[in-house]
Amino acid sequence: MERTDLWRTLVADYESGIGIEPRTTPPPDLAGERATWLAATLPVLDLATGSVAALCGAARRAGATGALATEGVDPARVAAAFQSDRLFLLDGRPVDGFAPLSGFFRTSDGWVRTHANYAHHRSRLLRVLDLPDGATRDDVTGRLEGVTAAELEDAAASAGAIAVRVRTEAEWSDSAPGRAARTGPVVQLAARADARTRAQPLPGGPAPLAGVRVLDLTRVIAGPVGTRALAQLGADVLRIDPPVPAEIRPQHLDTGQGKRTSLLDLRDAGDRGHAQQLLDAADVIVTGYRPGAVEAFGLRLPAGAVRARVNAWGDAGPWAGRRGFDSIVQAASGIATIESPDGSRPGAMPAQALDHATGYLLAAGVVDALAERAADGRGRDVAVALARTAAWLLDAEGRDPAHPAPAVASSAATVRHGRHPVVTTARPALPGQDDHVAPAHPWGTDPASW
């Protein structure tokens, strides 16, 4: 199967899942140097270009004009955007995206992958291993040599830490969470039967979401990438975070462009009331937490609002309530085994592609939901999951075990903002947009108001 056929397949899977006849334009032919962009055994570049194309298609249906409506996606720009963490510079210096205790570790019977970029996840992992807070990677390595992978996975899940057993593709597909990950469309989009709001057409044009208010309760990569894309389409995006834990600074500067960023603690009655006022005036709320986590605070969804959710494992199956990140889903689903560099140790895709692709698919679902709401005033629910995106990628044809080494895009694919610090980030992936609508503001520094 050709690469462009796979690209069409993802767009078709998305659009048929929401009841639209697919109409696609493939990206330029891939040859020579282009074959190295996001090169992997799995068709990662197809996943990347297909997810951005899905958003462009939604933008066209919402009345977008200009390059969004007339130009196809540029694989070079898309590849650079998906590898933004490798292009990111803070005052000219690269930033390591993973903490020392995040990564692959041998166990007595195999491998695990941990995620400890946030301090609270690191502390929980060390408690599970009965190690002190000052423990090093060598300490963790030594302790895990006497633990089975399944033992650590179960103990971590019980303690709210993040570690999974590295599985083969067959092990994942035969498991209950693996089967759940293949359920339903890549993007779930459904109208709600609650009260309606006044139908109001979208403005269309080069900023088809101008005037749309998006309350962003996401962090890390997938959700922020999705809401950043909505900002690129003209939406007023207000990101709300709790004061603790603080977002990882480079991560926010790499995905926070075009948004405002404020702090509210939903455990505080006053802040929770303030958040409800913001939600009452919003058109869209986007959440990136486990199922039910935000609803547990008692926030009420206004009539006619679009509710969009992204999480790791989906809303069904035994892992629906578990925490997870892109690297963790890669490890559990068999992707890490498929991308092994030598057949003896697990590997990874050349980008956090599940995060980025899921973010663009989330944005596509939101745009289509808003376009449909403009006609009937009904609220809609949009849901995506990293594991569902991974299932599509694993089921796709076109694997290339003899692929060339992946190359990172050149500095021509980046833009620079600010003076103190100078932030270098990848250009937007959407066609015709050479820069972000605004640089990322320092985390938590804007008023919590529309």
- Residue 387 is assigned to a structural domain of this protein: yes
* Burial class of residue 402 in the structure, from the number of CB atoms within 10 Å of its CB (0-12 exposed, 13-18 middle, 19+ buried): exposed
Residues linked to residue 416 through DSSP beta bridges, in sequence order: 424
- Answer yes or no: do 280 and 296 share one domain: yes
- Flag whether pLDDT at 429 surpasses 70: yes
Establish if 22 belongs to a structural domain.
yes
- Other beta carbons less than 10 A from residue 71's beta carbon: 13
Instruction: Please report which confidence band the pLDDT of residue 9 belongs to, taking 50, 70 and 90 as the band edges.
Output: low
Answer yes or no: do 190 and 165 share one domain: no
Write out the residue range of the structural domain in which residue 198 sits. 3-83+179-318+348-409
Specify whether the CB–CB gap between 167 and 333 falls below 8 A.
yes
One domain, residues 108 and 125 = yes
Domain end point (choices 155, 174, 193): 174
How many domains, in total, are found in the chain? 2
Residue 261 lies in a domain: yes
Q: Which residue(s) pair with 383 in the sheet?
A: 188, 309
Give residues with Cβ within 8 angstroms of 209, minimum separation 6.
62, 202, 230, 233, 234, 235, 367, 370
Q: What are phi and psi of 157, to 5 degrees?
A: -60, -40
Residues 261 and 380 in one domain: yes
Whole-model pTM: value is: 0.94
Task: Judge if 148 and 193 occupy the same domain.
Answer: no
Domain end, chosen from 174, 193, 217, is at 174
Domain end: 174, 201, 221, which one?
174
User: Is 263 a domain residue?
Assistant: yes
pLDDT at 195: 74
In this structure, the answer to whether residues 240 and 200 fall within a common structural domain is yes
CATH number for 275: 3.40.50.10540
Of 320, 278, 322, 321, residue with least CA distance to 301: 278
Q: What is the model's pLDDT at position 7? A: 53
Coil/strand/helix, residue 319: coil
Residue 20 pLDDT greater than 90, yes or no:
no
243 CB neighbour count, 10 Å cutoff: 11
Weakest-pLDDT range from 15-29, 121-135, 278-292, 431-445 = 15-29
Question: Are 293 and 149 in a shared domain?
Answer: no
* Residues recorded for the chain: 450
Q: Does 6 have pLDDT greater than 70?
A: no
Res 428 pLDDT > 50: yes
Same domain, 214 and 297: yes
Kindly state whether residues 240 and 387 are assigned to the same domain: yes
Is residue 42 within 8 Å of residue 337, measured between CB atoms?
A: no
Judge whether residue 117 has pLDDT over 80.
Answer: yes
- Judged by average pLDDT, the poorest of 75-79, 174-178, 227-231 is 75-79
Residue among 77, 79, 26, 80 nearest 53 (CA) = 26
Contact call for residues 37 and 433 (beta carbons, < 8 A):
no
Take residue 413 and report the two structure tokens written for it: 């694919």
Beta strand pairing call for 423-426 and 213-217? unpaired
- For residues 114 and 125, is the Cβ–Cβ distance under 8 A? yes
Tokens for 340, please give them: 């092994």
Beta bridge partners, 344, equal: none
**Helix, strand or coil, per DSSP, at residue 411:** helix
119 and 159 inside one domain: yes
Q: 301 and 210 share a domain?
A: yes
What secondary structure does DSSP assign to 228-274, as a single string? HHHHHTT-EEEEEE-SSSPPPHHHHHHH-TTEEEEE--TTSHHHHHH
Whether 284 is in a domain gets the answer: yes
- 147 lies in some domain: yes
Residue 210 and residue 156 share a domain? no
Quick check: 198 pLDDT over 90?
Answer: no
Q: What is the pLDDT of residue 97?
A: 79
pLDDT of residue 313: 96
First to last CA, the chain: 48
As a whole number of angstroms, the distance between CA 425 and CA 260 comes to 18
Answer yes or no: is 449 within a domain: no
Residue 88 domain flag: no
